[in-house]
Structure 1
Amino acid sequence: MRVALAEDGALFREGLLMLLEAAGHEVVAVAAGGDELISLLATTPADVAILDIRMPPEPDGGLITAERLRGKYPEMGLLFLSHYAESHYLMRILEIGTDSIGYRLKERVGSVEVLSDTLGRIADGEIVIEPVLAKRLVERPRGQKKDEIAALSEREVDVLRLMAEGRSNNGIASQLVVTPKAIEKNIANIFVKLNLHTDTSEHHRRVLAVLTYLRSQRDGS
């Protein structure tokens, strides 16, 4: 696929460029900051843009750049990279969009396989969230009162954690070694317990389920 890259750290930028080329992707634009990347993409189309969250324009140039890119090129996928798994970053990212978007730690995309899997899922329209952050989303904050989250069974929490990573029903079933039918039932139960109405699409309800946990963690901290 055609990939654009914005990263102000020269060493990491060059390493990522090598990984992308080794994976067979066409790197169509490389920049050290958001403004430069937007200028390059004005004449060069890309399927996915990889953005460092903390880059020029400061302080969180990746988020600012993404908002501009999503407005100009709504079909373009966005992958945010950071050294930090921060809930407030994820909240802002999900406000930018809930389709073809991802948030991963830099240290976790250091192989061709992981990077290609992440980009492929984003290109397919999925949300890809760093697993360590996805796990944190579904952990009940210490001292939190009984609520919708506490009403979920242990298996439903496991299913939601994998949903938060952006995995499909079949992918969740494979991870938990159960049938896809069982996962469909778990997800239906999650939607009911979180009061997610059936008048919205399943994809939208999946996103709302993750947001419910994220907001609960933020409010309970």
Structure 2
Amino acid sequence: MADDGALFREGLQLLLSAAGHKVVGCVEDGDRLLEMLARTRVDVAIMDIRMPPGADGGLQTAQRVREKYPDIGLLLLSQHAEAHYLFRLLEIGTERIGYRLKDQVAGVAVLADTLVRIAAGEIVIEPVLAANLVDRPSPPVRSLLADLTEQERAVLRLMAEGRSNTGIATEVFLSVKTVEKRIASIFTKLNLPAESAAHHRRVLAVLAYMRSNQTAD
């Protein structure tokens, strides 16, 4: 774990321990995190987006960690849900990676769920940010959204959070088979061809909205 706030580091370490995770080290910046990872293998590295070195050292560090240790999960924490941070995060990767608000991981259950999902290979996006991006698209994609049913929009929102099909089924009280059908319908309406499946079509579906929002801004 890397965060330049000593109190937050200590508090998060207590939460991690309470959730049954082993914390192998806590440091205050990205350079020291890289030094630690060179000596110790971990499942997930947690870091603050705004920490040394630089104003967004966490993102820089995450990029370096992903390049050197592609199998390590990455959890980026921030005080605020910023879309531009999310866009940069998605450039680093769309698997074994997450972006959550600090005050939303202040509970053992949420923190444990986030880490387990990242370690399992999922992408975990702060629900508030995911909902804003999906529910308030820029004008060029409004016609695409208009084609989605309310149920499909609900599924897309959960996809934006990085939920698996099983996780989505649990959230919306449907069978996995029904969720798969709705996701297939979403892909069709968003004109995502079957050959793009290898590139994680569920992420591509959400990125279509995110990138359009970024362009509009």
Is TM more than 0.5 here?
A: yes
- Counterpart among 153, 171, 179 of residue 175 in structure 1: 171
- In the alignment, structure 2 segments of 5+ residues that lack a partner are none
In 2, the alpha carbon distance for the partners of 1:93 and 1:105 equals: 14
The one-character-per-residue Cα deviations of 1:118-140 (angstroms, maximum 9, x if unpaired) are: 00000000000111011011113
Residue matched to 1:83 = 79
CA gap of 1:216–1:14, structure 2 versus 1, over 3 A, is same
Q: Which AA in structure 2 matches 1:98?
A: T
Q: Secondary structure at the match of 1:31?
A: coil
AA in 2 matched with 1:70: R
SS, match of residue 63 in structure 2: helix
1:153-184 Cα shifts (integer Å, max 9, x gaps):
22111100011111121221222222222211
Letter in 2 for 1:180: V
Question: Aligned equivalents of 1:117 and 1:146: distance in 2?
Answer: 33
Question: Which residue of 2 is the match for residue 206 of structure 1?
Answer: 202
- 1:53 corresponds, among 33, 49, 55, to 49
Matches within 5 A, 1:1-221: 5-141=1-137, 146-201=142-197, 204-221=200-217
Amino acid corresponding to residue 7 of structure 1 in structure 2: D
Does the Cα contact within 8 Å between 1:141 and 1:220 map onto a contact in 2?
A: no
More strand by share: 1
- Equivalent-residue separation in structure 1 for 2:215 and 2:175 (angstroms): 35
Give TM-score scaled by structure 1 length.
0.93
Q: CA deviation at 1:142?
A: 6.7
Contact 2:47–2:77, Cα closer than 8 Å, also in 1: yes
Distance 2:122 2:17 in 1: 23
Two-structure CA RMSD over aligned residues (Å): 1.5
Amino acid across the alignment from 1:112:
V
Contact 1:83 1:106 (8 Å CA) reproduced: yes
Q: 1:202 to 1:164 in 2, by over 3 A?
A: farther
**Paired letter, 1:156:** E
Instruction: Give the whole-Å Cα distance in 2 for the aligned partners of 1:138 and 1:146.
Output: 10
SS of alignment partner, residue 99 of structure 2? strand
Secondary structure of residue in 2 paired with 1:118? helix
**Paired letter, 1:211:** L
SS at match of 1:213: helix
Which stretch has the larger CA shift, 126-135 or 161-170?
A: 161-170
> What percent identity do the matched residue pairs reach?
61
Any conservation in 2 of the 1:149–1:213 contact (CA below 8 Å)?
no
Higher helix fraction: Structure 1 or Structure 2?
A: 2
Corresponding residue pairs, total: 217
Deviations 1:98-154 (A, max 9, x none): 110000000000111111110000000000011101101111347667432332222
